[in-house]
Amino acid sequence: DQQVKQNSPSLSVQEGRISILNCDYTNSMFDYFLWYKKYPAEGPTFLISISSIKDKNEDGRFTVFLNKSAKHLSLHIVPSQPGDSAVYFCAASPPLSGNTPLVFGKGTRLSVIA
């Protein structure tokens, strides 16, 4: 049973426009949420995160929004650039006890078209 779901396998956006990637989760005990970006033949790289006590975190062109009541988070990229084309994974952290492994979604492939 998937605890972290990314229901859109792919997304295409024009350069300069906003990209919105969505993620839903089922476990209300998740404490932290992270987004990773993955290029082909490379490992995922940490992009941005948010604690469950916040509803927004911004870092440059990237903003993550968290709606706890809906168990939903989203990653906004504004403006989108061709170099943003990659697979984006949403991940959630169970309540911290040691280094409990992150739970990942299946990813969304973003294509930014010039």
Partner 1 sequence: GAGVSQSPSNKVTEKGKDVELRCDPISGHTALYWYRQSLGQGLEFLIYFQGNSAPDKSGLPSDRFSAERTGGSVSTLTIQRTQQEDSAVYLCASNQQGPLVLYGYTFGSGTRLTVV
**What pairing do the DSSP bridges indicate for beta strands 19-25 and 72-77?**
antiparallel
CB of 78 to partner 1, least distance (A): 22
Terminal Cα distance for the chain, rounded: 38
CB of 15 to partner 1, least distance (A): 27
Of the pair 43, 60, the CB lying nearest partner 1 is at 43
CB of 86 to partner 1, least distance (A): 13
Of the pair 3, 79, the CB lying nearest partner 1 is at 3
- Residue ranges in contact with partner 1 by CB under 8 A: 4, 6, 32, 34, 36, 41-46, 49-51, 89, 91, 93, 96, 98-107
Q: CA 32, CA 20: separation in Å to the nearest integer?
A: 19
CB of 107 to partner 1, least distance (A): 6
Q: E strand or H helix at 109, and its extent?
A: strand 108-113
Q: CA 35, CA 47: separation in Å to the nearest integer?
A: 5
